[in-house]
Amino acid sequence: MERKIYLNGVFVEKKDAKISVFDHGLLYGDGVFEGIRSYSRKVFRLHKHMERLYAGAAAIKLNVNMSIDEFESKIIETLRINGLDDAYIRVVVTRGVGDLGLDPRKCSLPTIFIIADKIVLYPEEFYEKGLPIIIAKTRRISPQSISPAIKSLNYLNNILGKIEATAAGCNEALMLTIDGYVAECTGDNIFLIKKGKLITPPSEIGALNGITQQAVIDIALKRGMKFGYEMLKPNDIFDADECFLTGTAAEVIPVNKVDGKVIGSGVPGSVTKDIILAFRELTRVDGTAY
């Protein structure tokens, strides 16, 4: 079945889902987006995603001309129209159509679209064996240049990291801050397990506040595990007992090697496996039903 796309108030066929070449989302990457998943007709933490989208839009002074409630119901409608029980949903709000200058005031109406489809990010074998990653030479953009909390349409920094990963025969790359601290991967947050403690870098240094990251923290705290946001250097990863990545598309995926160095025992550890199972259970219950 041809997918139906929500575009500026109407549902159109995929082949008709087109936007103007004068859209500032395209001309300048001026806009924000979300990647959301639904599991068995439940949208996982939908409201958290929408809060992040609206906070990002506010941070770039982009007025989403629709209430969060209305937006959420459009997402649900998109899922229903496409008859999808399990889906990956892409929500995009751009500055809209303007002229060839940067000035966002020339764009009177934002462009809003919602795509509901399927996604497979990494081959299944990596979830069982662990994913090898590299450390990219491209450094994460400084939080003083653009807040890492804004999930903006400007992903070139991440794409450069991804290109390095694929050139090295890997699927994902870890990005460091300008000062050499561990920030996040190109499309995922990173976690370590050290002596039973769960550790992830703080968002302020250059990582997105991941919805999956928060879900994993919730799981760990509920289990009484020790947890902390900590500044990490690559050596902390090499010394870790376990390492895994989180993201809406990736879910929770173990890491077995970083720059060719084996992490922990080289196979997914018991804490990671436990968290993967708990996350799967959470996705069955924690969501907006449709």
Residue 266 near residue 130, CB atoms below 8 Å: yes
Question: Is 151 one of the annotated active-site residues of the chain?
Answer: yes
Are 64 and 110 contacting, i.e. CB atoms less than 8 angstroms apart? Answer: yes
Q: Is 213 in the site for ligand PMP (CB under 6 A)?
A: yes
Look up residue 87 and give its DSSP letter.
Answer: E
Structure tokens at 198: 């769960």
* C-beta of 8 vs 284, nearer to ligand PMP: 284
**Beta carbons of 271 and 224 less than 8 angstroms apart:** no
283 binds ligand PMP (CB under 6 A): no
**Candidate residues 187, 254, 264, 269; the one interacting with ligand PMP per rule CB under 6 A:** 187
| Among positions 170, 184, 217, 256, the unique one binding ligand PMP when judged by CB under 6 A | 184
CB of 83 to ligand PMP, least distance (A): 24
Task: Decide if residue 248 touches ligand PMP (CB under 6 A).
Answer: yes
Q: Verify binding: residue 189, ligand PMP, rule CB under 6 A.
A: yes
Stretch that binds ligand PMP, among 19-27, 77-85, 223-231, 240-248 (CB under 6 A): 240-248
Nearer of residues 62 and 91 to ligand PMP, judged by Cβ: 91
**208 in contact with ligand PMP (CB under 6 A):** yes
Distance in Å, CB of 52 to ligand PMP, minimum: 7
Q: How far is CA 275 from the centre of its chain?
A: 18
Who's near 277: CB < 8 A, 6+ residues apart? none
Distance CA 240, CA 40 (A): 35
CA dist 29 and 123 (Å) reads 29
Beta-bridge partner residues of 82: none
Q: 237: part of which helix (H) or strand (E)?
A: helix 234-238
Which tokens in the block code for residue 157?
A: 């920094």
Of 16-24, 71-79, 209-217, 266-274, which part binds ligand PMP (CB under 6 A)?
A: 209-217
**Cα 59 to Cα 137, 158, 180, distances in angstroms:** 29, 20, 27
Q: What does the alpha-carbon distance between residue 213 and residue 199 come to, in Å, rounded to a whole number?
A: 11
Based on the shown chain and the rule CB under 6 A, indicate whether residue 82 belongs to the binding site for ligand PMP: no
- The active-site residue out of 4, 42, 151, 194 is 151
- Tell me the closest approach of the beta carbon of residue 1 to ligand PMP, in angstroms: 26
Regarding 210 and contact with ligand PMP (CB under 6 A), the answer is yes
Answer for which of 158, 200, 272, 283 binds ligand PMP (CB under 6 A) is: 158
286 DSSP 8-state letter: S
* Site membership for ligand PMP, residue 171 (CB under 6 A): no
Query: What is the C-alpha radius of gyration for the chain, rounded to an integer number of angstroms?
Result: 19
Residue 212 engages ligand PMP in binding (rule: CB under 6 A):
yes
CA angle 91, 97, 103 (to 5 degrees): 110
Stretch that binds ligand PMP, among 2-10, 98-106, 181-189, 269-277 (CB under 6 A): 181-189
Q: Does 287 bind ligand PMP (CB under 6 A)?
A: no
Residue positions annotated with a catalytic role: 151
- Residues within the interface to ligand PMP (CB under 6 A): 35, 158, 184, 187-189, 208, 210-213, 246-249
